[in-house]
């Protein structure tokens, strides 16, 4: 029996065992397999291992997407997590090439994937609070949000969780150094049923210049004296 003689359900099942590149290659062989590739039911789960993969055309985004993971485990992630004011010209040039890639992709998810249930981001050093806020607003069924080593995530994301995370059951903010204990306590107060984890996050060194922090401390002392 030729593969194209199988019914749609069988073909979808076979495609489900393939990675994105293999699915795309197989879809190029005939119109019937191309139709299977374009079936939304095939794309309920997407895993990416670098920002570059987000720009490929070997997957589909749509309402069927339930589980999304973007996990970048590379030495280059360290460059993205260096404080902006400490980066040299080479490091800045490297970041500029993909600074908006993940944010732009997540905006597409906001617009096209309202049924998302789970989002995991790891090593995405350029993801912003505004982007996560929009995602929480546009994906009201989100149950799991796991953020790891995302340096630009702050208490604004935690506040967004208290306002828009009505369906959220699990929240991880591991190695996100710019959140605070105050923000975590607010989540615990407003969303007591959420399973909250913040490994090596609050009370770490914030992403601001030491001089700026010192100036703020001096200004605070002056106000107290007045």
38-88 per-position pLDDT tens digit? 999 999 999 999 998 999 999 999 999 999 999 988 777 777 777 777 778
- Contact between 131 and 80 (Cβ < 8 Å): no
Same domain, 70 and 47: yes
24 has a pLDDT exceeding 90: yes
- Look at residues 26, 42, 58 and tell me which one is the last residue of a structural domain: 42
Tokens 């920002």 belong to residue: 51
Sign of CA dihedral 75, 177, 170, 137: negative
Q: Are 67 and 126 part of one and the same domain?
A: yes
pLDDT tens digits for 135-168?
999 999 999 999 999 989 999 999 999 999 999 9
For the question of whether the overall pTM of this predicted structure is more than 0.85, the answer is no
**pLDDT confidence of 221, banded at 50, 70, 90?**
low
- Span 172-208, pLDDT tens digits: 999 998 999 999 999 999 999 999 999 988 766 555 5
Q: How many domains does the chain have?
A: 2
Positive or negative, the CA dihedral 103, 106, 108, 110 is negative
Indicate whether 119 and 8 sit together in one domain. Answer: no
Percent of the chain beyond pLDDT 90?
69
Residue-level pLDDT at 168 = 97
| Whether residue 8 is found in the same domain as residue 107 | no
159 and 73 housed in the same domain: yes
Structural contact between residues 124 and 98, judged by C-beta atoms closer than 8 angstroms: no
| 210 and 110 together in one domain | yes
Q: Label residues 176-198 b or e (16+ Cβ within 10 Å = b).
A: bbbbbeebbebbeeebeebebeb
* Structural domain for 220, as ranges: 43-224
Residues 197, 119, 43, CA angle at the centre, nearest 5°? 155
- Are residues 25 and 54 located together in one domain of the fold? no
Same domain for 35 and 52? no
Confidence band for 99, pLDDT divided at 50, 70 and 90? confident
pLDDT band with cut points at 50, 70 and 90 for residue 89: confident
Q: For residues 16 and 54, state if they share a domain.
A: no
Q: What is the CATH number of the domain that holds 125?
A: 3.80.10
Q: Are 24 and 117 members of one domain?
A: no
Residue 211 pLDDT: 55
Instruction: Mark whether 17 and 59 lie in a shared domain.
Output: no
Chain-centre distance for alpha carbon 179: 16
**15 and 127: one domain?**
no
């Amino acid at each position: 029996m030729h593969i194209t003689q199988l019914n749609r359900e069988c073909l979808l099942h076979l495609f489900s065992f393939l990675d994105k590149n293999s699915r795309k290659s197989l879809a190029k062989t005939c119109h019937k397999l191309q139709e299977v590739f374009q079936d939304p039911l095939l794309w309920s789960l997407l895993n990416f291992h670098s920002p570059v993969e987000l720009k490929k055309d070997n997957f589909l985004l749509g309402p069927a997407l339930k589980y999304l993971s973007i996990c970048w485990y590379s030495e280059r992630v360290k460059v993205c997590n260096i404080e902006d004011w400490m980066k040299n010209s080479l490091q800045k040039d490297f970041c500029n090439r993909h600074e908006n890639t993940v944010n732009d992709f997540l905006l597409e998810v906001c617009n096209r994937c309202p049924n998302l249930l789970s989002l995991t981001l790891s090593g995405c050093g350029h993801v912003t609070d505004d982007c996560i806020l929009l995602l929480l607003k546009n994906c009201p069924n989100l149950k799991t949000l796991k953020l790891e080593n995302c340096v630009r995530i702050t208490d604004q994301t935690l506040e967004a969780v208290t306002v828009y995370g009505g369906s959220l059951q699990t929240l991880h903010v591991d190695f996100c150094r710019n959140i605070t204990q105050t923000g975590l306590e607010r989540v615990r107060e407003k969303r007591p049923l959420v399973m909250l984890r913040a490994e090596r996050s609050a009370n770490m060194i914030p992403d601001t210049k030491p001089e700026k922090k010192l100036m703020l401390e001096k200004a605070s002392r002056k106000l107290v004296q007045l």
